[in-house]
Homo-oligomer: A and B are copies of this chain.
Amino acid sequence: SRLEESVKKIVTENPVVVYSKTWCSYSSEVKSLFKRLGAEPLVIELDQMGPQGRQLQKTLERLTGQHTVPNVFIGGKHIGGCTDTVKLHRKGELRLLLSEAGAT
């Protein structure tokens, strides 16, 4: 669909993309982890887009199998949520992924 194509385009053209909700602490945590690592993620706040936000969340679920926020992509690859991103960081793999994607 058109929406799926636009998500694919956004996640391949931007090194780090976070689909988020403004009032969600897990979304804030992952956004601030990226900032601490020197990466400036493209953040899309699903709750600030009216009905399109819900449509977009359904599209993300179709594309990734994940209906929850935050929904994180690095270098066009689907990473998962907050706990997935933090686990990668603890294992020392996040910095590598960010530099390979040209985010840092």
Contact = CB atoms under 8 A, between A and B. Distances in A.
Nearest to A25: B26
A17 interface: no
A12 B63 CA distance: 48
A27 to B, nearest CB: 10
Nearest to A23: B68
Contacts of A82: 25
Interface in A41-83: 82
Interface string A23-34: 011100000000
Contacts of A25: 24-26, 82
A75 to B, nearest CB: 25
**Most central of A24, A25, A26, A82 by chain B CB within 10 Å:** A25
Contacts of A26: 25-26
Interface of A: 24-26, 82
